[in-house]
Amino acid sequence: MFIQTNKPQKKPLLKVLMVCGLLLGLIGTIPAESISLPSAGVNRFVTIEVDYTIHEWWLLSWKDSEIVCQVYTEHEAWPDASEVLYYCGQNIQKQWLGTSACVFDENITNPQECKGLYLHKASVTPSKRKVEISLPSPEVFVSVAGCAREPGQMNCTTLPYLRLQAVEPLPNEQIIQINGTVNGAGFSCPGGACDLPLSPTGMEGVLVEFWAESSYGDASERYKAQVRVIPWGDFANPDQTTTDKPSYYVDVLSSQWMGEGHSTCSEIWQSFMPVDGPPSWLRTPSLAQELVSTKQYYLLAGLLIKQGLVDAAGCPSGGLATTGAANACGMEAAQAVVDDWQNQFDAEIMRVAEDTGVPAQLMKNIFSRESQFWPGIYQKVREAGLGHLSDIGADGVLLWNPAFYSQFCPLILANETCQRGFGNLDPAQQEMLRGALVQKVNAACPDCPIGIDLNQANFSISIFARSLLANCEQVRQIIYNSTGRQPGQVANYEDLWKFTLLNYNAGPGCIGNAMQRTINNGNPLTWINVAQNLQEICRAGIAYVDDVSAMPQAETGSISDILSTPEPNTYLPTPTIQPTPRPIILTPTPGPTATPIPYPGH
Amino acid sequence: MDKTGTLPTYRRVWALCTAAVLVALVLTLSACGHAGGRPPQAANDRTLSPWEPATATPTPLPSPTSTPDIWPTFAPPSQPAATAIPPAAPRLGLDEDVKIWLLLGTEAEKPYVGRTDAIHLLLVNERLSKASVISIPGSLFVYLPGHTMQRLNTAFALGGMELVRDTLAYNFGIRPDKFVIAHPTEFKWLVNDLGNLDVSVLFPIRDGCGGLPAGSHRMNGDKVYCYVSYFGGDEVNRVRRQQQVLQLLFTKLVNNGRLVRLPVLYASYQEHLETDISLLDLLTRVPLALRLGDPERVTYFVLGWEQLREWELPDNTQTSVLLPREEEVSEVFRQALAAISEPSPLGEIVLTYESQVTIAVALTQTAQATVYVPMYPTKTPTGQYTPTPGQATPTRTPVTSGTPRPTATHSEPYPIPTAAFHTPTPGPYP
């Protein structure tokens, strides 16, 4: 921490400033046209007084012991080079850094014969300063209430409410009102809760803005929610031949969503999920048991045999192939343990999915494809954790997930340094953070009984989910840069996840260039179109996306998928695309068309 | 821990709006003969007929429809209170001729309400034609029946006018008969309609409103709004500025026969104000308004530092509110009632105001080809002022140069907010 000191003003400068001040004063007498209303808002903070100590240092010349510069620090240690630079300037800093120790010898018999500068602690002064501490602000959360459901169904059998609930964190304050707009029309509710009646919307939904006013004198941030209510089935069929019961599909895109089916990337992209639900590979089941898989993972089996967790002594070569994976016999011997192993992370995957909104099945698929659920580092490959986080992946999550960065960075670097943001850190600091993050998710543990720290493995799931969120954000930005529109306006939910997987696997350059070429060709941003426009070097990503999105039905990946860069494949797009089945959506009974009134005189 | 020593600052605290609109609507004056004002609405574009001249001796007027006694039973608190809830104030005994109008100004534009940082109680003795204005800081920490101890300015947002009435009844022993709530836009409209205001700034404002050094300033609606809503660390000062502008607006409204356009003004503003005051309420009180134009007949009070004390909430947030000193507050209300309880002769200025309105009506009639429908329900219009025998002749000659134009014309449509206001239960999507 530096202490600002007053520097002597030069007289000519003072005169100039005085003249400028006079002129400004004269200008100020002209009536101001613009008026600043006193509505800057309430600052939620408290001011506290903290103790600190000022250490005053003098830089003196060896030659005559004259003070060359004064340096002030708030720590007991000697001032470092940056502090000397701040107070003394570059020349003095250089002179000080270049000063060697003053050692008496035959040429130097007293200190005045030494060259350069030396530091002397002049004083230590206890002091106090006022520090402003921010207080938490009110927030408003959104959910759906009054949604009666048939057993096993997701649709509401009655039109539900959009429930807004505000929270005032200060103990003696309260939310006095929740205000907002629905498609531009204002609404207001007293107190901290508000139920907005919903009615059917189009496929695009309606925009709801909302905020809470506090008795403290301020208001929450203004939040947005895109709300969609789709009548489900043909109960609104005008011919009245339906047997369907009325029901409504309701979904909400908002950072403040507190209900079920939280999907963070959907909100990032402003993209509704398909009305009939996401495809199986993008679902989060209601129970962890629904994630259970029984795949044959040869590499995992090999590692388990090596760790002694599986007895394959009766198999040829101890059940191991030359690659380190299990051979057929080893796989058979290890199958039960492999089944247990691949499902032991399901509970944590579910918890992370609830916490982050990343689909649980997607995470499991990626872990299967990336690591075969072995969370350590494979030989010669600097990728760690169940999701095989690499340096590039770590870079992405630190850069594109600022919320995660702000939590992680202070564990490694000083707070002040972290506040600069990942992009503004020195390359060395960035490298330090990247390395720390990869190490953090590496569950390899030579001293552990099975060579793996399972706690660390579980932790890596959370990091991986945040890495995916960072990729969602990066894809949002790439699409916005290419189209000037939100992703949900130009691509569907499933394709956006495929773009994200490609971004995770092949990097933003591949996806960005392919999208730009697709747009330049006048084609819509579908996965098929973008995949066709991938450069040759990026095409390996297609197989990766196909593998992940095909599971859980897909066959086990080979060891070469994990240990080496796959050879580029020739990508042949599927010639015909089966359209995603959609429910029959009937609009509500159309209202009477207004008869135009003839213009007077016509 | 260092205290900031200031009251909680309020964003967009706009206090005064209320005052101005009050003056205009509540006291029924308003004049909008200035370019830039709101366009008249044809269906309501009527002029007033002359009325009975003022007399020196107050004439008892028949009491309007008597208000039913609806003194409430106060609900217990629903939440813990930051400080002890004081006992309910004793109900003030009011003469049946005393009516209480509540003027609220809110910081939020319609359809929202937010906090009402301008709170002015108007106590009017209609028989004696006298009034007291009591201005109350919005941060006054009082018991909101059925809720808890909270700032008075949150009552409307939390429970509407019913909670405001209950709160005033519990804490001050009075229950307003009528109310009006004004939003910033209407307040600015009113100032602009009146052709701006000349405001004497007593204490300079350096960090807001574009800078306002001490001295006289001609201010438009935006500037006046800023002047009355500027916080500056002292809420009592803000309330005083609101009162200052309230007085200026009132004086301007009763001057030069501007009241003649009251129906037009009412029609223009009624969609934007929230009020239970009808046009008839206003028209029947036009003579009263003219009499209250005499500064001697209106007394202004502010609940200031002598009646209040600053108190920091016990939650380590360094938030301060204002607590009433009960005795001193009661004394203010006693003085306010006393000030309107003694009859006093009408001043000459009232006769001048009446003459101005008479002339304005006559000019309006001359200027308009259509036959107007008299709105004032008492006397047959005569078209000119006839002094009452035994009454002093007004010495001030009515000035006709300031007579409002018969019809305000505007080349641009006035900005009228279109958003609908939904209260507690919002309607379905459009």
Mean pLDDT of A176-188: 92
- Whole-number Cα distances in Å, A448 to A58, A443, A453, A505, B398: 54, 10, 6, 31, 102
Residues in contact with B344: Cβ distance below 8 Å, sequence separation at least 6, in sequence order: B128, B130, B296, B297
All domains in chain B, ordered by first residue: 16-53+70-367 (3.40.630.190)
User: Which residues of chain A from 450 to 469 reach within 8 Å of chain B, CB to CB?
Assistant: none
Asked if B180 and B21 count as a contact pair (C-beta separation under 8 A), the reply is yes
Establish if A100 belongs to a structural domain: yes
Task: Take residue A427 and report the two structure tokens written for it.
Answer: 């390359």
Of B148, B319, B430, the CB nearest to A185: B430
Asked whether residue A201 falls in the same domain as residue A238, the answer is yes
Q: Is the dihedral of CA A369, A373, A374, A375 positive or negative?
A: positive
**Residue at a domain's end among A77, A112, A134:** A134
| Interface membership of A197 toward B (CB under 8 Å) | yes
- Does residue B21 register a pLDDT over 80? no
pLDDT tens across A102-118, in order?
888 888 888 888 989 99
Q: Which stretch of DSSP H or E encloses residue A378?
A: none
Closest CA to A386 of A420, A349, A350, A430: A349
Q: Put residue A504 in one of left, alpha, beta given phi > 0 → left and psi -120 to 50 → alpha.
A: alpha
Report the gap between the CA of A270 and the closest CA in chain B (Å). Answer: 21
Kindly determine whether residue A39 and residue B157, on different chains, have CB atoms separated by under 8 Å. Answer: no
Asked whether residue A240 falls in the same domain as residue A209, the answer is yes
Is the backbone peptide bond immediately before A552 cis, with ω within 30 degrees of 0?
A: yes
Mean pLDDT of B24-40: 33
Number of domains, chain A: 3
Asked whether residue A393 falls in the same domain as residue A477, the answer is yes
- Does residue A587 register a pLDDT over 80? no
At A251, which CATH number? 2.60.40
Asked if B426 and A187 count as a contact pair (C-beta separation under 8 A), the reply is yes
Q: How many other CB atoms sit within 10 Å of the CB of residue B396?
A: 12
Establish if A389 belongs to a structural domain: yes
Residue with tokens 């307040």: B187
Asked whether residue A124 falls in the same domain as residue A176, the answer is no
Establish if A40 belongs to a structural domain: no
Give the CA dihedral A36, A42, A48, A54, nearest 10 degrees: -30
Asked whether residue A357 falls in the same domain as residue A471, the answer is yes
In the prediction, which pLDDT does A551 show? 64
Kindly determine whether residue A42 and residue B9, on different chains, have CB atoms separated by under 8 Å. Answer: yes
Asked if A488 and A533 count as a contact pair (C-beta separation under 8 A), the reply is no
Residue B248 binned pLDDT confidence (cut-offs 50, 70, 90): very high
Mean pLDDT of A543-563: 63
- Does residue A31 register a pLDDT over 80? no
pLDDT tens across B324-342, in order?
999 999 999 999 999 999 9
Amino acid at the residue B90: P
In the prediction, which pLDDT does A459 show? 85
Closest CA to A531 of A478, A561, A573, A493: A573
Establish if A340 belongs to a structural domain: no
**Residue at a domain's end among A235, A260, A285:** A260
Asked whether residue A247 falls in the same domain as residue A352, the answer is no
Of A35, A182, A217, the CB nearest to B9: A217
Residues paired with residue A165 on neighbouring β-strands, in sequence order: A141, A193
Asked whether residue A147 falls in the same domain as residue A129, the answer is no
Report the gap between the CA of A468 and the closest CA in chain B (Å). Answer: 35
Task: Take residue A24 and report the two structure tokens written for it.
Answer: 């400004």
How much is the CA Rg of chain B, to the nearest whole Å? Answer: 22
Asked whether residue A86 falls in the same domain as residue A211, the answer is no
Please give the DSSP secondary-structure letter assigned to residue A389: B
Asked whether residue A366 falls in the same domain as residue A453, the answer is yes
At A491, which CATH number? 1.10.530.10
Q: Strand B130-137 and strand B298-302: pairing?
A: parallel
Closest CA to A294 of A325, A349, A336, A328: A336
Q: How many residues does chain A have?
A: 602
Q: How many other CB atoms sit within 10 Å of the CB of residue A388?
A: 25
| Interface membership of B158 toward A (CB under 8 Å) | yes
Kindly determine whether residue A172 and residue B114, on different chains, have CB atoms separated by under 8 Å. Answer: no
In the prediction, which pLDDT does A262 show? 66
Asked whether residue A118 falls in the same domain as residue A150, the answer is no
Domain residues for the domain of A118 are 45-134
Residues paired with residue A129 on neighbouring β-strands, in sequence order: A50
Instruction: Evaluate whether ipTM surpasses 0.85.
Output: no
Q: Which chain B residues contact residue A132 at CB under 8 A?
A: none
**Residue at a domain's end among A213, A244, A260:** A260
- Does residue B273 register a pLDDT over 60? yes
pLDDT tens across B96-114, in order?
999 999 999 998 998 898 8
| Interface membership of B411 toward A (CB under 8 Å) | no
In the prediction, which pLDDT does B213 show? 94
Q: How many residues does chain B have?
A: 430
Asked whether residue A167 falls in the same domain as residue A253, the answer is yes
Establish if A526 belongs to a structural domain: yes
In the prediction, which pLDDT does B349 show? 87
**How distant is the alpha carbon of residue B40 from its chain centre?**
22
A40-49, B169-178, B189-198: which is most confident: B169-178
Asked whether residue A354 falls in the same domain as residue A501, the answer is yes
Mean pLDDT of B351-372: 70
Q: Is the dihedral of CA B193, B196, B202, B207 positive or negative?
A: positive
Q: Which chain A residues contact residue B113 at CB under 8 A?
A: 177, 188
- Give the global pTM: 0.68
Asked if B250 and B27 count as a contact pair (C-beta separation under 8 A), the reply is yes
| Interface membership of B82 toward A (CB under 8 Å) | yes
Residue A581 binned pLDDT confidence (cut-offs 50, 70, 90): very low
Establish if A552 belongs to a structural domain: yes
Establish if A336 belongs to a structural domain: no
CB–CB contacts below 8 A, A to B:
158
